Amino acid sequence: MPMQSRWNDEDANAYVEAARAAGQSDALGLRIYSSRIIGGDPDLVLHGGGNTSVKVVADDGSKLMHIKGSGWDLDTIEAPGLPAVHLAPLLEVRDGSKLSDPDMVTLLRRNLISADAPNPSVEALLHAFLPFTFVDHTHATAILALADQPDMREAVKRIYGSRVAYVPYVMPGFDLSIAGDIIYRENPGCEGLWLENHGLFTFANDSRTSYELMIEFVTMAEEELARAGVTLTGPQNNDGQQDQDLRFRLESALSQPDSPFEKAIFLDYRSTSAIRDYAARENLDEIAQRGTVTPDHVIRIKPWPMIIDADASDAAINKALDGYAIRYRAYFERNAARQSEPKQMLDVYPRVIIVRHQGMYALGSTEKAARIGGDLCEQATRAINAAEAYGRFTPIGEADLFDMEYWSLEQAKLKLAAN
C-alpha cells in the first residue's frame, strides 16, 4: 500500500493551541506536530534518524531557526528537542572558509538561544541555507532502496523531473551543508534534494506542504520500485522461532572478559519473511559486507554483521568472532593510516549476527540499544532486498563508511567518556 499522508487538521490545530498556551509560536507548534507524524512512520525515520526545522521571527525582529537537537527522536519530540539558534550567523558561513565539524558544532552552540539546549543537528547549516520556513529530512525505506543504487542521477531526473535535485554523496556535516546549498542554488525551483546513499530533503513555507511533499516523493519512489516489479514490504513482526540453545551459546561467547558486553549483554532476535529471505541469499557473505543502508547506521550497528550457521557450536561461534576481530582490525588500520589525526579504535565485536536461513540478532549492552539495532536491521533488510531486486545494493564504500564511524564528533564523545 502506498505511503499515505497522516496530516489531520484537528490534530495540527491542537498542537498550535498547545504552543500558544506555552508562549511559543504557531510555527513551532506545527513543527512539533509534523515532526511527530514523520517520526511515527518507521518507513520514514527510526530512532534519532532524520531531522526537521522551522524558521521564525523573534520578538525583537531577528530570525531564529528551531532545529532538531541531538538525543531526540522525532516521534516523541517536544519543544526542548527543537532548540532555537540565531539564523544570521549561520548564513554568514555559506560563502566563507571551510569549517571543521568541531568548529561547526562550536558555531551552532555559540548561537543557541538557551545555553543548556542540546546540540543542534549536524545538518543544521543545510536547514539554515535552504530559504524555506519548514525543512524535513528522512531516511525513508523506499528512498534508500533507490539511493543505494549506482548511477541514479538520470533515474532521479526521470522520476521527479526538475522537482528534486540530485546531490552526490558527501559526508554529513559541514561539507554536505555546503554541497546541498550549492545544488539547491543551481536548481532554485526544486522542492526536494535527493542525497545519494543517504536520504531525502523536502521544504516549503508551510508545514503541511513540506510534509506532504515528503509523502508524495516517497510514494513516487515506491511507484518506481513497483514499475520495476519490486514489492517493498512494510514493517514486519517476528514470526520465526528462536533457537534458545544457540542464543545461550552466543551470550556465553560474547560475555567473555574484555568484551564490551562483559557486564551486560542483550540480544534482540528478529525473524520475519524479509529477514529470512535475506539470510537465505546465496551471496549473503558478499552482500552483507557492502555496508549500511544509510551512513549513520554504522555508528549503531558497525560496518557489517557477523554470519553464523544455525547449528553453530561454541567453537564455530568463537572462530567467527575471531575472524570478525581480525577483519575489523585490518579495516581500522587500513583506514586510520590515511587520517590527518590519530583515531582510537572501537571494540572489535559485531553488533549484528545473522543466522543463515533463520534470522538475526542485534547486540547491545542495554535492552534499548539492542532493540534499536534490531529495528534498524529490520528496515535495512527490507531496503536491501528491494535494492537487489531493482538493481544492485551499492551503499557508500569502505573509506566513507570509516569516516562516518570514526567521525571526529563521535571520537570526541569517546575521549570525554574516558576522562
**Contact 90/107 with Cβ under 8 angstroms?**
yes
- Work out the average pLDDT over 325-332: 98
The pLDDT assigned to 417 comes to 44
How does pLDDT run across 63-120, given as a tens digit for each residue? Answer: 999 999 988 999 999 999 999 999 999 999 998 889 998 899 999 999 999 999 999 9
Residues of the chain with CATH 3.40.225.10: 9-227, 244-418
How does pLDDT run across 197-242, given as a tens digit for each residue? Answer: 999 999 999 999 999 999 999 999 999 999 999 999 899 989 989 9
The pLDDT assigned to 50 comes to 92
The pLDDT assigned to 340 comes to 87
Nearest-angstrom CA–CA distance, 253 and 297: 25
CA distances to 279, 304, 347, 348, 406 from 331, in Å:
24, 11, 12, 10, 12
Quickly state the pLDDT bin for 411 (edges 50, 70, 90): low
Q: Which CATH superfamily is domain 9-227 in?
A: Class II aldolase/adducin N-terminal domain (3.40.225.10)
Contacts of 276 (CB under 8 A, 6+ apart): 240, 357, 358, 359
pTM for the structure as a whole: 0.95
Q: Where are the beta strands (DSSP E) in 213-271?
A: 266-270
Grid cell digits, residue 1: 500500500
How does pLDDT run across 241-283, given as a tens digit for each residue? Answer: 999 999 999 999 999 998 999 999 999 999 999 999 999 999 9
Task: Answer whether CATH 3.10.150.10 is correct for domain 244-418.
Answer: no
How does pLDDT run across 110-120, given as a tens digit for each residue? Answer: 999 999 999 99
What does pLDDT average to over the chain?
Answer: 94
Quickly state the pLDDT bin for 408 (edges 50, 70, 90): confident
Nearest-angstrom CA–CA distance, 354 and 281: 12
* pLDDT beyond 80 at 30: yes
| First CA to last CA distance, the chain | 51
Q: Cell 515506491 identifies what position?
A: 222
* pLDDT beyond 80 at 418: no
Quickly state the pLDDT bin for 341 (edges 50, 70, 90): confident
